Structure 1
Amino acid sequence: MQPVAFIPSPSQGVWHLGFVPIRAYALMIIIGIVVAVWLGERRWAAKGGTPGVIIDIAVWAVPFGLIGGRLYHVITDYQRYFGDGRNPVDALKIWEGGLGIWGAVLLGGVGAFIGCRRHGVSVAALGDAVAPGIALGQAIGRWGNYWNQELYGRPLDTFWALEIDQAHRPRLEDGSLDPKYADIATYHPAFLYESLWCVGVAVLVIWAAKRYKLTHGRAFALYVAGYTVGRFWIEWLRIDDAHQILGMRLNDWTALIVFLGAVGYIYWARNRTGPEKVGAGAGETPEPEEPKAEEPKAEPEPAAASEAAGSSTGASETKVDVSKADVSKAAEDEPVAEEEPKPEPDQAPGNEPGNEPEDEAKSETEAEPGDEPGDEPESEPKGEASTADDPAPQDDPADDPADRPAEDPGADPAPATGENGTRVDSAAEDGGADGAADEDRAGAGEEEPVKDPK
């Protein structure tokens, strides 16, 4: 039986370059490893890990994985290599096919653990980074089974059926061709199913890890669980000899147990959060908090304050940074803050700019004779002595114009106040000639009788 359309099998799977054989099976495995390491490096760098760590750990994981995969195959199919008429040396011929993924993942994990310990990184974090790459590597490696015409399923009569030569069809224990399949040329391409399934698992892990932030080994566990589901039904299609337990192939039992273990780990680690050890070399986790904790060690405030004081007095002009310039500006602004209190709050409620002429007249009439030294008139009705002879009336030095500090010529003149807290405006502000004349005579020490407002 042979359908009109089908997938043809390759005529050969080995090419020779001189005396060096180039085997398609090994070539597919090598390409798969390269892709797995490449994708793992990209994902590891995205997690904050140091580039090159995946390659260094692969030096340990890949040899361990190949040995583990071969050991699993030989142990589970020992009848092919041991017994009457068998050659145990064939167990070493890995190029003829026969790698068990379960043993490869198990011992490959041991090699990865050794590499992680040497680099001081987390095994779980590493597994999350390389999980999609491993799935893609398996997808590529399964095409090695195509070149060896192995890993096929039950007979199939359709356009995607795989053609298998008689030399690679199922055989009996004595090595003869099984009569049931002697005339059947096309079968389920189980290798193709698994290859496509692995691609889907890789896409699933990449999407789920980003969508649900799967860390601490959960992305790797998802890869394991997803792969075992596909492997279970693919094993159900296979017709090659295999050990069976309770009517089910050994690989099906293995897939079921591993699936339960992966799902259990995902549930157990569902709440695990926090940083992971992805640092290389010293094994330190590159946490963003550590650089922030080191910032206060600089403490530039004292030096900045001293430089700011020097720059404000004009002693030296030095080049300072932005923080020192801010401190200098704050130091220059301090004297301004001290001069802010002005006598304006002491103004009487009625001292408005529009009432200045009346306020000045009122202040002149209500002023006491002892307010200013030297201003007491000789013809005082009350007969009080001058302030030169009687120093008893002691006014507040703050109200004495002679004792007030000279004001800055560039600053705005502050309004003067009398003893009773009234505002005495200057002649320039009032525009009154009499007020200006009185102030000149008062400064010269002349005595002026008090004017009667009436």
Structure 2
Amino acid sequence: MSTGVSTTLLAYLPSPDRGVWYLGPIPLRAYALCIIAGIIVAVYWGERRFVARGGEPGTVLDIAVFAVPFGLVGGRLYHVATDWPTYFGPGGNPVDAVKIWQGGLGIWGAIALGAVGAWIGCRRRGVPLPFFADAVAPGIVVAQAIGRLGNYFNQELYGGPTTLPWGLEIYNRVDPATGAPDPLGGVALDPTPIAIVHPTFAYELIWNLLVAATIVWADRRFRLGHGRAFALYVAGYTLGRFFIELMRTDPATRVFGDIRINVVVAAAVFVGALAYLVIVRKPREILAAPAPATSGEQASADAGTTDDDQPVSGGARDRAP
């Protein structure tokens, strides 16, 4: 950028000088560490909420064994599919499509395929998927907030130029050995910023935390059940993502002329989540352990009823959350 940028070092936010550290030959990537930290928070908080609502301890972790890998694969597939020229277009490297540590996880694919993994895990544990989804909803959106810190270390997903005090300084990162440009794995040797931009990843981080707080409040106030807490998460997240996506300047697939594809997806998913919140009015489920079979009868089948005022099966103790 011009020298004007270097002379306006006011209260702008500095970017990290690097996103990768080395422990001997082992790279420690901030993006990967943030993703892992987010998963741990989501599982831990989801477990606490699941048990408080009547679920059996250990169930969330068991289901996460299926949901997390499915979610990571789905997130990467969505990212690659909607940004395929980067990997398969002119000058692209198809091998980079599997380098998840370099960033690039589409939340839409992560939720979609992660839900498939969660469904498999729920089936194995006899837990209704909507009940599980309600329990983990706020933890998921907090995990997304933590994951956005990885974008900060990677110097990615920011907006256009700004003179606001919270503008983010972007540095030129290079390979220290060769001096070649290396935005992800390099180091910023020159502390002079090349741009001051909107930290849109930080906007999303803050919004996600507000969504998590809203879910917790609404869940306590209205005793949301049958997937409504999860629908509130989806509606809240997509509402913020719609406007934040409009501010981003990173390359993205365009549809309907010149609209970023994630803007369209956010709008469509928001409408679907809002419709679910309006249509579904069932009271919160109460998990009940299947009654023991007697005289050749399978009483556990009776515990599986899903009438509004009846418990649903899930291998959990019979108590209200």
Q: TM-score, normalised by structure 1?
A: 0.58
Task: Tell me which of 243, 263, 271 is aligned to 2:253.
Answer: 243
Letter of the 1:76 partner, please give it.
T
Listed as ranges, the gaps of 5+ residues in structure 1 are: 169-174, 176-182, 290-454
Letter of the 2:35 partner, please give it.
I
Task: Tell me which of 194, 219, 240 is aligned to 1:230.
Answer: 240
Query: Residue 287 of structure 2 contacts residue 318 of structure 2 at CA under 8 Å; is this kept in 1?
Result: no
For 1:61-140, what aligned pairs fall within 5 Å after superposition? Answer: 61-140=67-146
Does structure 1 residue 262 correspond to structure 2 residue 268? no
Does structure 1 residue 34 correspond to structure 2 residue 40? yes
Q: Deviation digits for residues 334-393 of structure 1, max 9, x if unmatched? A: xxxxxxxxxxxxxxxxxxxxxxxxxxxxxxxxxxxxxxxxxxxxxxxxxxxxxxxxxxxx
- Check 1:80–1:259 CA distance in 2 against 1; reply closer, same or farther (3 A cut): same
Partner of 2:209: 199
Shift of 1:274: 5.9
Measure the CA separation in 2 of the matches of 1:278 and 1:140: 34
Letter of the 1:267 partner, please give it.
V
Letter of the 1:5 partner, please give it.
A
Identity rate, percent: 56
Partner of 1:149: 155
Does structure 1 residue 189 correspond to structure 2 residue 199? yes
For 1:189-338, what aligned pairs fall within 5 Å after superposition? Answer: 189-246=199-256, 247-270=258-281, 272-273=282-283, 275-277=285-287, 283-284=314-315, 286-287=317-318
- Report the 3-state secondary structure (helix = DSSP H, G, I; strand = E; otherwise coil) of the residue aligned with 1:16: strand
Query: Residue 160 of structure 2 contacts residue 197 of structure 2 at CA under 8 Å; is this kept in 1?
Result: yes
Shift of 1:241: 1.5
Measure the CA separation in 2 of the matches of 1:199 and 1:242: 25
Q: TM-score, normalised by structure 2?
A: 0.81
Q: Deviation digits for residues 156-182 of structure 1, max 9, x if unmatched? A: 1122001112459xxxxxx9xxxxxxx
Measure the CA separation in 2 of the matches of 1:204 and 1:64: 27
Shift of 1:244: 1.9
Shift of 1:31: 0.6
Shift of 1:285: 5.6
Shift of 1:197: 0.5
Measure the CA separation in 1 of the matches of 2:286 and 2:234: 21
- Report the 3-state secondary structure (helix = DSSP H, G, I; strand = E; otherwise coil) of the residue aligned with 1:8: coil
Shift of 1:192: 0.5
Measure the CA separation in 2 of the matches of 1:213 and 1:43: 13
Listed as ranges, the gaps of 5+ residues in structure 2 are: 175-180, 182-192, 291-299, 301-312
Measure the CA separation in 1 of the matches of 2:134 and 2:29: 32
Query: Residue 121 of structure 1 contacts residue 278 of structure 1 at CA under 8 Å; is this kept in 2?
Result: no
The farther-off stretch of 241-250 and 132-141 is: 241-250
Q: Deviation digits for residues 135-157 of structure 1, max 9, x if unmatched? A: 11111110000000001001111
The farther-off stretch of 246-255 and 67-76 is: 246-255
Measure the CA separation in 2 of the matches of 1:156 and 1:204: 30
Please tell me the root mean square deviation across aligned C-alpha atoms, in Å: 2.2
Partner of 1:363: none
Shift of 1:86: 1.7
Query: Residue 120 of structure 1 contacts residue 279 of structure 1 at CA under 8 Å; is this kept in 2?
Result: no
Query: Residue 40 of structure 1 contacts residue 129 of structure 1 at CA under 8 Å; is this kept in 2?
Result: yes
Measure the CA separation in 1 of the matches of 2:130 and 2:244: 28
Q: Highest relative contact order (Cα 8 Å, sep 6+), 1 or 2?
A: 2
Shift of 1:249: 1.1
Query: Residue 124 of structure 1 contacts residue 216 of structure 1 at CA under 8 Å; is this kept in 2?
Result: yes
Structure exhibiting the larger radius of gyration computed from Cα positions = 1
Measure the CA separation in 2 of the matches of 1:96 and 1:108: 21
Query: Residue 18 of structure 2 contacts residue 173 of structure 2 at CA under 8 Å; is this kept in 1?
Result: no
- Report the 3-state secondary structure (helix = DSSP H, G, I; strand = E; otherwise coil) of the residue aligned with 2:88: coil
Measure the CA separation in 2 of the matches of 1:198 and 1:147: 18
Query: Residue 286 of structure 2 contacts residue 319 of structure 2 at CA under 8 Å; is this kept in 1?
Result: no
Q: Deviation digits for residues 282-341 of structure 1, max 9, x if unmatched? A: 84464459xxxxxxxxxxxxxxxxxxxxxxxxxxxxxxxxxxxxxxxxxxxxxxxxxxxx
- Check 1:231–1:213 CA distance in 2 against 1; reply closer, same or farther (3 A cut): same
- Check 1:29–1:188 CA distance in 2 against 1; reply closer, same or farther (3 A cut): same
Measure the CA separation in 1 of the matches of 2:124 and 2:60: 12
Query: Residue 139 of structure 1 contacts residue 198 of structure 1 at CA under 8 Å; is this kept in 2?
Result: yes
Does structure 1 residue 56 correspond to structure 2 residue 62? yes
Q: Deviation digits for residues 258-300 of structure 1, max 9, x if unmatched? A: 0011011111212x126344759984464459xxxxxxxxxxx
- Report the 3-state secondary structure (helix = DSSP H, G, I; strand = E; otherwise coil) of the residue aligned with 1:81: helix
Letter of the 1:190 partner, please give it.
T
